[in-house]
Structure 1
Amino acid sequence: MTRQLRSNFEPGTTRWAMRRAQWRAMGLTAEDEVKPKIAIVNSSSALASCFSHLDDIVGPLKAAIRSAGGVPFEVRTAAPSDAITSAGRAGQYILPSRDLIVHDIEVAVEGAQLDGMVCLASCDKTAPAHLMAAARLDLPTIVVACGYQATGRYRGEHIDFEDIFLRAGHVASGRLTVDELSEMSECAIGGPGVCAGMGTANSMHIACEALGMSMAGSTPVRANGDRMWRAVRRAGERIVELVTEDVRPRQILTADAFRNAVTTILAVSGSVNTLKHLQAVAVEAECAVDIAGLFEELAAQVPLLTGVKPNGDRHVDEFEDAGGTPALLKQLAPLLRLDAATVTGPRLGELLAGVEVADADVIRPLENPLARHPAIVVVRGSLAPDGAIIKRTVADDAPLRFRGPARVFTSREEGLAAIKRGEVQRGEVLVLSGLGLRGSPGMGLTSAFVFALDGAGLGEHVAVITDGQLSGLVNKGLVVGEVAPEAATGGPLGLVRDGDVITVDVRERTVDLLVDDATLAARRDRLPAPVPAVGCGWLSVYAREVGPLTEGATLGGRLPRSVATE
């Protein structure tokens, strides 16, 4: 060992004696006491198929760490699944669970003074949480993406979890029966792992590799496939080297790394949720980058190079077989910062030197893209001074300009009831207000409302604007999400009234409320004083402590002044 490990306490001290007694009872030897102590962060749960295979990964990963000269310790954290955890409080627990995982990791790993981490990433919130914890603790870390689930067949046609998510909104309108939806749900998922589309989970897995925080060639992968197991073994071996070499996340999570990640997400039309997650990682890393600003800057430069469902007709296994993230990065090389560091060891440019694209029709070259319009559009205007997000697909069949009268709802349930009663009219701009980080609290999920509109045949004939969050997997029609500042903190969205005219222009990247300043000022004066969150429940704590979206919605985190005040 070339350096002193922080986990090695001075013999004879109280801390040394207590640890020695505990670990000897667990079978560790005197030789183990001085080896690198590696946390295996396992967000496992029997509640959802996303996590159902993680426990089986721990044993082989432990073996790889031991063979490399380290001592592994499994650490458990919260394990939120959007499909399961969203049932309570209208989905308000989903985003706050990300930060709960970060705190779980901090307590276990920092409290025990371990030397490094291998994090088993699965569903949507685990990968960003692992990156945030790595950046906060600045300990040698590798994030292992544990793969996407197998899909199924329904009456001879391909089906996956995305289809279930979308089609559920068709039942209320009579376009699909409960029995049909039930039959579909029985065959949509064929095994463990994350949703098999380009949702938040696969997007963040890809972002981990683009950032340099996952082993090269490890995303996306089939859950329990050969590539996943190779990545597990390589990560177990490499983490001990990273500890020995003292290679830390903040050496990797640089401005260039974040630029590369944003470029990559734009090229795959990744999840809109990557904006707030990458910004949160940057805040934890104390790296002065503005993620939304990068999306705005790079939007016109980065074409769509692949069309993985729901953005196009390809499936994620086709993307993997075409070369996955390394092949995508190879095609993007002229736009990337190739000197960026990686946990694999070589710089990004060196890693890409030997990469070949197996299928250039699935992962296109820059000169022959699927589309040239930006996949994720940050819009601003009088209704969203701090920005909002629109997702575009390869086909991009949603209207690019929309002008109409507002119909305001203050909850998802209120909006769903109006759709069911047939009150929503074509040409309206539907505003779901008060669903932001503090107003919800936790940022309410609005996807059920969007899918219900699609099921009612209204998806292409209305626009939706909300300070709530959108599905990272699939959205339909023209939807403007994550409006900032949110209504609960005095944002203009809270001043909209039924009948107000709103305009959205995707090409111009604007979203405006056409109401004069005097009227808005009078409305603001009549607003009731905000009611502070009380109690010690997690959502109450979150509501009191969460920062704005522009700072990643982290708890108490702040961007460096040079970025935060721009």
Structure 2
Amino acid sequence: MKKRSSEITGTPGGADWAERTAARSMLRAVRFSDEDFEKPIIALAVPHTNGTPCNDHLRDLGDILQREIEAAGGKAIVFGTPVISDGISMGSEAMKYSLVSREVIADAIELMTEGYRVDGVLTLSGCDKTIPAALMPIARNDLIGLTLYGGSILPGLYGGEELNIVSSFEAIGAHAAGKIDDCRLKEIECHACPGAGSCGGMYTANTMASAIEALGMSIPGAASNLAVERDNRISADKRLDAARSARMLMGLLQKGTRARRIMTRAAFENALTVAWALGGSTNAVLHLLALAHEADVELDLDAIARVTGKVPLLGNFKPFGRYLMNDLHRIGGVPMVMKTLLDAGFLHGDCLTVTGLSIADNLADTPTCPEGQDILYPPEAPYAPPGQHIRILRGNLAPEGCVLKLSGRKPGSFSGPARVFEREEDALQAILKGEINRGDVMVIRYEGPKGGPGMREMLSPSAALMGAGLGTDVALVTDGRFSGGTHGIMIGHVAPEAQVGGTIALVKERDPIEINLETNELNLRIDGRELEKRREIWQPPGSRYPRGVLAKYAGLVSSASEGAVTS
């Protein structure tokens, strides 16, 4: 095994031997022994914070993983990363830092893996952006490594009903519409999140964990194994995931298997297939485009459209369906889903994974989907046919593309007058004040990657629409993005965004907008000459962030149609 960390060990008399000796002296101070200098050095990224339940348990899981790495013959260098909670930052200026944190976390992990010249890397993740960020630097530098998801939260319980974080957001809209009282709202708030783990529906965290398992870059079963028990201790399944992940990393090191051997175009198609079959978040579009970019794999919106056009919707999961990740876990988890899809011919079974085996080999002994349940539907009788979950639209309002989440609803068309808002907060106030009517098309702009900056999630207004009973009668169009918890007639990632002069910047109040799902188009229905006239006089608004991380991000970030990447 050729070690990158041999630079620490060195050969007496070599040109850099003195510096290496000094490095060893410093490592001895942090409990490295002579034997440790002969072991592979493993970077262990532990994005712990008590600022969100998604990552609250990762310090304990990181300790377990450190012990498992050392039991497997490695020596871990442990470090943390930033964590921005989407749920807590939602609807505020803080959400502008969420997608930005994906890039910062990825860069932080790269700094540690390259700054210490480690042999391998194992990254933990929890809240939404930590999941793609945990894999991006491994792909970027073609490292030997894998990633482990911290696991999903258990459902909250109140009055015989299972709750989750989106229950709180939708309760706000229901309260504003007079459908529930203060007491009911308070009880939902207090019971929605009972302990550690990521949001329980098929929202962004569970979507991306499932996609990365299908991609082959995490061990089988890890995506659907739950974070903790009811007493908030690390679950037995997650403890086993830690031991298996450490052993698999040592196997990758022995064979010299780097990330890009696993992260192929076929593997990305597997990831997309599993994400869409489960009814996953629109954020998977952004994150898988970003991961493909880092892995130097050609993937674009047209390729994503081809995959989603073939994959039936099998999962009956919240936000649009009935169930949570703990329900999928009890009937066989993501391996059972992948077995179902493989047997039906939807997966590339020959793709290599971090186990050292192919997808087909990993799934050889996996039980088939049990009968007599409605959590996962069979491919021959799906929850919804192909093309009725995620759609990629174009048209004059989104010539570079945008993303629509149908969640099993039958395709059709929707037309209505534009109600234009320059920021999310103004749109939310209009909903809560009862100023939005059935048939309206809400347009929220200057919320894109550059314009926000940071491409905020519009869960607050979208959940308020659902809570007010307008979810099927009002469309929402934005150059921002949506939470995995969003459902309704929601179109995000409109590109080019308003900040760079995209057509969405030219829309005026009461302009007619048409969503045509027969042609997969989003169009502003005004005269072409009028549109060009508006374009000629349009000027970009000045930035509210002249310095700092948001200014840096706005200057570097690409279009949402390219994954909103900065490298």
What's the TM-score, normalizing by structure 1?
Answer: 0.94
Q: Work out whether residues 79 and 126 of structure 1, in 8 Å CA contact, stay in contact via their aligned partners in 2.
A: yes
Amino acid at match of 1:220: S
- 2:313 counterpart of 1:316: no
Q: Report the counterpart of residue 392 of structure 1 in structure 2.
A: 406
Deviates more, 1:83-92 or 1:521-530: 83-92
CA displacement at 1:100 relative to structure 2: 0.8
1:434 deviation in Å? 1.1
Separation in structure 2 between the aligned mates of residue 193 and residue 526 of structure 1, nearest angstrom: 49
Distance 2:545 2:431 in 1: 33
CA distance in 1, matches of 2:377, 2:92: 41
Specify the alignment match of 1:259 in structure 2: 269
* Aligned: 1:21 with 2:6: no
Contact 2:445 2:478 in 1 (8 A): yes
Q: Supply the AA of the counterpart residue of 1:356.
A: P
229-238 vs 364-373, greater mean Cα deviation: 364-373
CA displacement at 1:48 relative to structure 2? 1.1
- After superposition, the Cα gap between the structure-2 partners of 1:457 and 1:75, relative to the gap in structure 1 and judged at 3 Å, is same
Deviation at 1:172, TM superposition (A): 2.2
Q: Indicate the residue corresponding to 1:119 in structure 2.
A: 123
Choose from 409, 413, 419 the match for 1:401. 413
Aligned residue pairs, count = 551
- Which of 200, 205, 208 pairs up with 2:209? 205
Pairwise CA distance, 1:461: 1.9
Identity in percent: 36
Task: Name the residue aligned to 1:329.
Answer: 338
How far residue 505 of structure 1 moved from its aligned partner, in angstroms, is: 1.9
Name the counterpart of 1:371. 384
Contact 2:430 2:436 in 1 (8 A): yes
TM-score by length of 2: 0.93
Q: Which residue of the partner structure matches residue 3 of structure 1?
A: 2
Partner Cα separation in structure 1 for residue 161 and residue 193 of structure 2: 13
Q: Are the structure 2 counterparts of residues 313 and 421 from structure 1 closer, same or farther at C-alpha, using a change threshold of 3 Å?
A: closer
User: How far is 1:273 from its partner?
Assistant: 0.1
Q: Render the CA deviation track for 1:337-361: whole Å, top value 9, x for unaligned.
A: 1111100111111112211125244
5+ residue gaps in structure 1? 558-566
Alignment of 1:162-241 (within 5 A): 162-223=166-227, 224-241=234-251
Q: Deviations over 1:456-496 (max 9, x none)?
A: 33322221111111111232x21111111101111110111
- Counterpart CA distance in 2 for 1:282 and 1:15 is 38
Structure 2 counterpart of 1:518 = 529
8 Å CA contact 2:515–2:522 kept in 1: the answer is: yes
AA partner of residue 210 (structure 1): A
Once the two structures are superposed, residues 148-206 of structure 1 have per-residue CA deviations (whole angstroms, 9 ceiling, x without a partner) of 11112212222222211221222222222333222112112222100110000000110
What's 1:562 paired with? none
Are 1:170 and 1:451, in contact at CA under 8 Å, matched by a contact in 2?
A: no
Contact conserved, 1:86 with 1:93, CA < 8 A, in 2? no
Structure 1 counterpart of 2:297: 287
| Letter in structure 1 aligned against 2:490 | V
1:34 maps to: 38
Deviations 1:237-268 (A, max 9, x none): 22122122211111111101101111111111
User: Residue 196 of structure 2: SS of its match in structure 1?
Assistant: coil
Shift of 1:551: 1.8
Q: Which piece of structure 1 moves more, 143-152 or 37-46?
A: 143-152
Q: Match of 2:399, SS?
A: strand
Per-residue CA shift, 1:363-415, capped at 9, x if unaligned?
33322322214211111111111111111224x27x73111111211111222
Q: Does structure 2 retain, via aligned residues, the 8 Å contact 1:149–1:191?
A: yes
SS across alignment from 1:288: coil
CA distance in 2, matches of 1:445, 1:335: 31
Give the aligned residue type for 2:464: A
1:130-141 paired onto structure 2 within 5 Å? 130-141=134-145
Asked if the contact 2:5–2:116 (Cα under 8 Å) also holds between the matched residues in 1, the reply is: no
The answer to whether the Cα contact below 8 Å between 1:533 and 1:543 also exists between their aligned partners in 2 is no
Asked whether the 8 Å contact 1:11–1:17 carries over to 2, the reply is: no
> What secondary structure does 1:406 align onto?
strand
Offset of 1:529 from its aligned partner? Answer: 4.3
Aligned letter for 2:508? R
Question: Which SS does the other structure have where 1:385 is aligned?
Answer: coil
* Aligned Cα root-mean-square deviation (Å): 1.8
Distance across 2 between alignment mates of 1:76 and 1:7 = 24
Compared with structure 1, are the counterparts of its residues 254 and 514 closer, same or farther at alpha carbon in structure 2 (3 Å cutoff)?
A: same
**What residue is the counterpart of 2:438 in the other structure?**
426
Higher mean alpha-carbon deviation, 197-206 vs 385-394, is at 385-394
Q: Report the equivalent of 1:451.
A: 463
- Corresponding residue for residue 152 of structure 2: 148
More off after superposition, 311-320 vs 61-70:
311-320
Superimposed CA distance per residue, residues 22-74 of structure 1 (whole angstroms, 9 cap, x where no aligned partner): 11111211121121001111000011111111111122212211121110111
**5+ residue gaps, structure 2:** 228-233
- Compared with structure 1, are the counterparts of its residues 175 and 341 closer, same or farther at alpha carbon in structure 2 (3 Å cutoff)? same
Deviates more, 1:133-142 or 1:262-271: 133-142
Q: What's the CA shift for 1:449?
A: 1.3
The residue type equivalent to 2:501 in the other structure is: G
Letter in 1 for 2:442: L
Per-residue CA deviations over 1:81-122 (Å, capped at 9, x if unaligned) read 112234651521111111110111111111111111111111
Q: Tell me: CA distance 1:142–1:158, structure 2 relative to 1, closer, same or farther (3 Å).
A: same
**Change over 3 Å in CA distance of 1:443–1:529 after alignment to 2:** closer
Which amino acid is 1:23 matched to?
Answer: L
Alignment partner of 2:472 out of 441, 457, 460: 460
Q: Which moved more, 1:38-47 or 1:18-27?
A: 18-27
Conserved 8 A contact 2:251-2:356: no
After superposing the two structures, state which structure 1 stretch, 382-391 or 182-191, moved more.
182-191
**Is the 8 Å Cα contact of residues 295 and 376 (structure 1) preserved in structure 2?**
no
Q: 1:382 aligns with which of 396, 407, 410?
A: 396
* Cα pair 2:310 2:386 within 8 Å, conserved: no
